[in-house]
Amino acid sequence: MIKRIFFLFILVGTCGCMHRELHEVGLVTNKAMVVSAHPLASAVGAEIMKQGGNAADAAVAVQFALAVVYPDAGNIGGGGFLVLRQQDGSTAALDYREKAPAAARPDMYLNEEGEVIEGLSEKGHMAAGVPGTVDGMIKLHARYGSLPWAMLVQPAIDLAANGFPLTQKEARKLNDYRLDFIRYSSIRPEFILKDNWEEGDTLRLGELAQVLERIRDQGRAGFYAGTTADLIAAEMKRGGGLITKEDLAAYEAIWREPISGKYENYNVISMPPPSSGGIALLQLLHITQNYPVAEWGLHTAPSAHLKIEAERRVYADRAKHLGDPDYYDVPVRGLLDTAYIRRSMADFSPGKASDSDKIAPGVPVPPESPNTTHYSIVDPAGNAVSVTTTLNSSYGAKTFVAGAQFLLNNEMDDFSIKPGYPNSYGLIGGEANAIAPGKRMLSSMTPTILEKDGKLFMVVGSMGGSTIITTVYQIILNVTAHGLPMQGAVNAGRFHHQWKPDWVLSEWGALGMKTSLSLWWKGHKIVPKPEGGIGRAAGILVLPNGKLEGGADPRGDDAAAGF
Ligand code: GLY
């Protein structure tokens, strides 16, 4: 009872007003649009399309621009996933997720007693997986690009060499992470250690510009071999990390078949394993379409309760069944089986929260045979690209590669470092996501594209670790079931349940007093997300008249650009 009253107090604190406008319409353009986490990166993508580039060209240019202007998550030292739909309806998914180095071992983060060594998978050299971003962009360009490679890398080189003004948010974060940058880089990264960064200060990254020049001129070899590879290997050696030049030379991004499936009269195209995003999103949408959520309305108690209970069950499956398909037999078809999904809700009660301890991951039917950032792009021909890219946490491992001025990821923490031990997002896992040399760690990134009546309808995705899936899920429902415009759907308050821990994380005021009290009465434990909100999404909606509406997230510096 005391615990219940504690959660009631927290809940009352969560109920402050949510002031984001639900009916706001975002930027509307006639032909082309980019929505990303930074206005300069969105402008770069739009400019590439003005110069005749397609969505894939713009995606390459935005990825490299973000690596300069948005060091929080934009990267060349991390990885990502990309889903695309060509104007002719063909689709593809690109996996440029980081990989465990060859020297990685399942127990590499445990001490002699088998206990987890706090922080080792989260910060510093040992936390880094082999970066995939540069090879991902090269493979994307080789298959779908139309403009010369150099033209796509050049805007990022110019931004790095000439410098760019910091936003207020980025300046504050660089100040906040100052000590971490010193502690986890083997050589003090002076260029980023100004006493007090302020909005409008110029950040120049000359050595990063040189790395980008090598990538521009030598392609893959500009990063995975030669000077850049030497700098990464030397950084690893000084800091006691595992990545070697052989690991870098062996890295390959992979084209995969997207996960796709029907929800109402939409076709959802999303990322397959090693992301859990596509499968989990389809499971959530399949559960939801069996209930009258549109009739219930946005953020009402029955609607929020249903969504929370669906999320609880889907994340239980995620913990047990999802991992790198090249190492673990993920039961994709079983997890998406209609009867299996329906059965997972058999014990759902409209009046009562379930208990996560009593929700075990399901036994899917066997197959018949065997901190992150998102950007969305549509080009004038109607080709669409949905990209989520990451260093994992803000600024990844906090480790700068000396002489190269880019950050390494801390993606190793996305593995299950010990069965049942929560990672930095509180996610737990087991054998499916255990560490193995060369294996890709499980992800929640959910770059997604929706079709309606065989035509492009929406391009969407988000940052936010474990909350990415629920953010994308709720935004899709906000548009398709609750009738919001793209911008309003991105603005709307969010909440998140991931099975364990057994609580509903909620943005301040997202659910309102009436719904929050009703949920509390049903037994949900609601806790507020302290700052920054849940996820930062980027969406593009194709309007009935063929124009494009952008949804840029007000939780960040996000911006839409287009023409
Ligand atoms: N690093 C967050 C994710 O991939 O889910």
Measured CA to CA, the distance from residue 328 to residue 325 in angstroms comes to 5
Residue count of the chain: 563
Measured CA to CA, the distance from residue 193 to residue 219 in angstroms comes to 31
**390 pocket-lining for ligand 1 (C-beta < 6 Å):** yes
pLDDT given at position 370: 35
Adjacency order of strands within the sheet including 373-378: 254-256, 91-96, 79-85, 384-390, 373-378, 33-36, 559-562
> Could you say which of 372, 373, 389, 470 is catalytic?
372
**122 pocket-lining for ligand 1 (C-beta < 6 Å):** no
Closest-CA residue to 152 (of 28, 293, 49): 49
**414 pocket-lining for ligand 1 (C-beta < 6 Å):** yes
pLDDT in tens, the chain (563 residues): 556 655 565 555 555 555 579 999 999 999 999 999 999 999 999 999 999 999 999 999 999 999 999 999 999 999 999 999 999 999 999 999 999 999 999 999 999 999 999 999 999 999 999 999 999 999 999 999 999 999 999 999 999 999 999 999 999 999 999 999 999 999 999 999 999 999 999 999 999 999 999 999 999 999 999 999 999 999 999 999 999 999 999 999 999 999 999 999 999 999 999 999 999 999 999 999 999 999 999 999 999 999 999 999 999 999 999 999 999 999 999 999 999 999 999 999 999 999 999 887 776 754 444 389 999 999 999 999 999 999 999 999 999 999 999 999 999 999 999 999 999 999 999 999 999 999 999 999 999 999 999 999 999 999 999 999 999 999 999 999 999 999 999 999 999 999 999 999 999 889 999 999 999 999 999 999 877 799 999 999 999 999 999 999 999 999 999 99
Using the mean position of ligand 1's atoms as its centre, give its distance from the Cα of residue 495 in Å.
18
Q: Which two tokens stand for residue 325?
A: 């398909």
Q: Tell which atom from ligand 1 comes closest to the C-alpha of 466.
A: 5
Instruction: Give the residue whose CA is nearest to atom 2 of ligand 1.
Output: 465
Determine the Cα angle at 266 with ends 262 and 269, to 5°: 65
Instruction: Give the residue whose CA is nearest to atom 4 of ligand 1.
Output: 443
Closest-CA residue to 537 (of 153, 277, 276): 277
> Are 57 and 137 within 8 A, CB to CB?
no
Burial class (CB in 10 A: 0-12, 13-18, 19+), 115: exposed
Q: Which two tokens stand for residue 60?
A: 């390459």
Backbone phi, psi, residue 548, to 5° = -115, 135
- Neighbouring residues of 115: CB distance < 8 A, sequence distance ≥ 6: none
Q: Where are the domains of the chain?
A: 52-255+373-414
Backbone phi, psi, residue 387, to 5° = -125, 130
Q: Tell which atom from ligand 1 comes closest to the C-alpha of 277.
A: 5
**271 pocket-lining for ligand 1 (C-beta < 6 Å):** no
Measured CA to CA, the distance from residue 498 to residue 493 in angstroms comes to 17
**Which residue numbers belong to the known binding site?**
97, 390-392, 414, 443-444, 465
Closest-CA residue to 132 (of 166, 106, 185, 94): 94
Measured CA to CA, the distance from residue 254 to residue 34 in angstroms comes to 24
**465 pocket-lining for ligand 1 (C-beta < 6 Å):** yes
Three-state SS sequence of 155-210 = HHHHHHHHCEECCHHHHHHHHHCHHHHHHHCCCCCHHHCCCCCCCCCEECCHHHHH
Of 324, 392, 446, the residue with max ligand 1 atoms within 8 A of its CB, to mutate for a pocket test, comes to: 392
Using the mean position of ligand 1's atoms as its centre, give its distance from the Cα of residue 393 in Å.
8
Q: Which two tokens stand for residue 210?
A: 């040189």
**Which residue numbers belong to the known binding site for L-glutamate?**
97, 390-392, 414, 443-444, 465
Using the mean position of ligand 1's atoms as its centre, give its distance from the Cα of residue 51 in Å.
33
- Name residue 494's beta-bridge partners: none
Strands 504-506 and 526-528: parallel
Q: Tell which atom from ligand 1 comes closest to the C-alpha of 413.
A: 1
Q: Tell which atom from ligand 1 comes closest to the C-alpha of 393.
A: 1
The position carrying tokens 């660089």 is: 174
Q: Is the dihedral of CA 220, 221, 222, 225 positive or negative?
A: positive
Cβ–Cβ contacts within 10 Å for residue 170, how many? 22
| Annotation says 372 is catalytic | yes
Using the mean position of ligand 1's atoms as its centre, give its distance from the Cα of residue 483 in Å.
29
Q: Tell which atom from ligand 1 comes closest to the C-alpha of 411.
A: 1
pLDDT given at position 368: 42
Measured CA to CA, the distance from residue 210 to residue 188 in angstroms comes to 19
Measured CA to CA, the distance from residue 308 to residue 285 in angstroms comes to 12
Return the half-sphere exposure (C-beta side, CA atoms, 13 A cut-off) of residue 4: 9
Measured CA to CA, the distance from residue 136 to residue 120 in angstroms comes to 27
Q: Tell which atom from ligand 1 comes closest to the C-alpha of 276.
A: 5
- Please report, for residues 65, 267, 336, 449, the alpha-carbon distance to residue 560 in angstroms, rounded to integers and kept in the order given: 15, 25, 34, 17
Using the mean position of ligand 1's atoms as its centre, give its distance from the Cα of residue 279 in Å.
15
Using the mean position of ligand 1's atoms as its centre, give its distance from the Cα of residue 407 in Å.
16
Cβ–Cβ contacts within 10 Å for residue 546, how many? 10
Instruction: Give the residue whose CA is nearest to atom 3 of ligand 1.
Output: 443
pLDDT given at position 367: 43
In this structure, what DSSP letter does residue 498 have?
-
> Are 485 and 25 within 8 A, CB to CB?
yes
**443 pocket-lining for ligand 1 (C-beta < 6 Å):** yes
User: What is the pTM (predicted TM-score) of this model?
Assistant: 0.96
**SS3 for 120?**
coil
**End-to-end Cα separation, the chain, in angstroms:** 57
Of 98, 390, 446, 467, the residue with max ligand 1 atoms within 8 A of its CB, to mutate for a pocket test, comes to: 390
Determine the Cα angle at 293 with ends 292 and 294, to 5°: 95
Q: Which two tokens stand for residue 188?
A: 């003090």
Three-state SS sequence of 278-338 = HHHHHHHHHHHCCCCHHHHCCCCHHHHHHHHHHHHHHHHHHHHHCCCCCCCCCCHHHHCCH
